[in-house]
Amino acid sequence: MKKAASAHDPRVQAILAGLAAAYPNAECALLHRSAWELLVATILSAQCTDARVNVVTPPLFRKYPTVADFAALTPELLEPEIRSTGFYRNKAKSIVGAARRLQEVYRGQVPADMDALVTLPGVARKTANVVLGVWFHQAAGVVVDTHVQRIARRLDLTREEQPEKIERDLMRLLPQSEWIAFGHRVIAHGRQCCLARSPRCPACPIEPLCTAADKTVGRQAKPTVGPKPRSAPKAAAGRRPRSSR
């Protein structure tokens, strides 16, 4: 069995350095002015592009500027405002539920604590890591979205499939000082280069370090499988082949 990578693996260090050089200014693309706005935007970003979320949230926050404003809503009132982000019914329930819990338990303030954040409706570790890392600058874990999930497996940084197990592997493998930046850089890499269906491997800054099975460069053509074609029988020496009539 292939040995798993370790925190001191030169290849892992080279991956980190390559991503840092390629995406030195990578950051969260969601528009926000507070921890609450970032929390809402991250909930809305599930199965939706950041670009679409950034169209929806500015007018949403102008209409409902505080946590208390959202807590006073019913999910049904919020649904039309966020419909274009998809899964709007579940997202509306999560946002209103999170606002109400913040009002009831945390005096309307988003807590800077992982254990507290994941008690909010609609908030799992990915969303909590976004809020803690981006707003509070706390490296409590590694953001594992669909890009990080895909690329971590392609780079053989994990063999797990579930986000929380992937995060555990990455937390073991990467220095804590890299946890926040790694998430931003891998997400940028997933959007610009390491696409899900047609990865742009020739343009990849860390392509020599990648051993993914679906790479589009560096693969040799497999030999044709099947029986060899039969050659025509040779005529016996000294005899002319008989012609058919």
Report, as residue numbers or ranges, the catalytic residues. 126, 145
Cβ contact 130:110 at 8 Å = no
Q: How far apart are CA 126 and CA 43, in angstroms?
A: 10
- State the amino acid at position 105 in one-letter form: V
Ramachandran angles phi, psi of 199, nearest 5°: -60, 140
Answer for the pair 133, 140: CB distance below 8 angstroms, yes or no: yes
The number of residues making up the chain comes to 245
Contact 191, 50 (CB under 8 A): no
Question: What does 56-95 look like in DSSP terms, one character per residue?
Answer: HHHHHHHHS-SHHHHHTS-HHHHHHHHGGGSSHHHHHHHH
Closest listed residue to residue 170, CA positions, set 186, 190, 188, 189? 186
